[in-house]
Amino acid sequence: MQKESFIFFKVNAPLKQLIFVVLLLFCTTIYVSPPIALVLGLIVANLFGHPFLELNHKATNYLLQFSVVGLGFGMNVHSAVSAGKEGFVFTIISIVSTLVLGTCLGKWFKTDKKTSHLISCGTAICGGSAIAAIAPIIKSNEKQTSIALGVIFILNSVALFLFPAVGHWLDLTQKEFGLWCAIAIHDTSSVVGAASKFGPEALQIATTVKLARALWIIPVALITAFIFKNKSGKIKIPYFIGLFVLAMIANTYLPKMEIVGALLVSIAKIGLTITLFLIGAGLNSTILKTVGLKPLLQGVLLWIFIATATLLAIIYLE
């Protein structure tokens, strides 16, 4: 979707591919955490270029889905249901308020209407997945979609480092942090990455609440189709969430799954680390320049709103 960006070191294709593959394999080791993998991806993209850029989006999408399903084998249904109930009210209020505020900010900044709506949906629900689902419905062009994705991915990258640091600084509990990052961080990859860095309980709560939140793509997509008067727009339903639920059920009710489940969770965590490496590798200088000030400012203000409001609600109302 994006053109190759300006790179600092011109190297031939085989060497570029070798550097990329070596770093990717390095991300499968215990020495690389999800945030570090993201940084490595950013470095390789902007120093040498991404040799497989045209495959990056699909690889990231499928690998993330596989990783999320794999994490389900380490979770318990009863705990997940409890976490989902607690996050339900926060989810509804945050989605509605973010979409309304996003629309107002878009008009204030005079941001392109479709770009503004994509940024708002990406912030309100589940980042890149929401944008991918909404873009065909509003018939956005490549530039509008790229700008929205760029805004979301930039802020996701910041969140991956910022949220765990703030969580420890405020001495949040595992439960509080899990709820906070599930609602306030856009993309599932960064939610899982930040929560896994904070702790196992935070990871379980964050993953469950975030995936339940992702289902809101469906009603938001239907409303979007009505607003943009598109009766033929197809809605992309995140079917992998069903597999995640099945994985949790198997882990909870099938005792023999314990050993296999632990292995699958370990593989899933490696998959998540590679996913974040690929996300970083897709954030080249071309995307950063394409975003522009107004859309980025809209995304930042929306993000500050949802992050601050959610954090205050969790601390004082829970």
Query: Would residue 17 count as lying in a domain?
Result: no
DSSP 159-206: HHHHHHHHHHHTT--HHHHHHHHHHHSSSHHHHHHHHHHH-HHHHHHH
Q: What is the pLDDT along the chain (318 residues), one digit of tens a residue?
A: 444 455 555 667 788 889 899 999 999 998 888 888 888 988 888 888 888 888 887 888 788 888 888 888 887 787 777 766 766 777 888 889 999 999 999 899 888 888 899 999 988 888 877 887 788 888 887 778 878 888 888 888 889 889 999 999 999 999 999 999 999 998 888 898 899 889 889 988 888 888 888 878 878 888 888 887 766 556 666 677 788 888 888 888 887 777 788 888 889 889 888 988 888 888 776 766 777 788 889 999 999 999 999 999 888 876
Give the residue numbers spanning the domain of 195.
70-317
Overall number of domains in the chain: 1
Q: How many other CB atoms sit within 10 Å of the CB of residue 232? A: 8
Query: Would residue 175 count as lying in a domain?
Result: yes
Query: Would residue 13 count as lying in a domain?
Result: no
Query: Would residue 247 count as lying in a domain?
Result: yes
Query: Would residue 43 count as lying in a domain?
Result: no
Q: How many other CB atoms sit within 10 Å of the CB of residue 47? A: 12
Query: Would residue 272 count as lying in a domain?
Result: yes
Query: Would residue 261 count as lying in a domain?
Result: yes
Query: Would residue 301 count as lying in a domain?
Result: yes
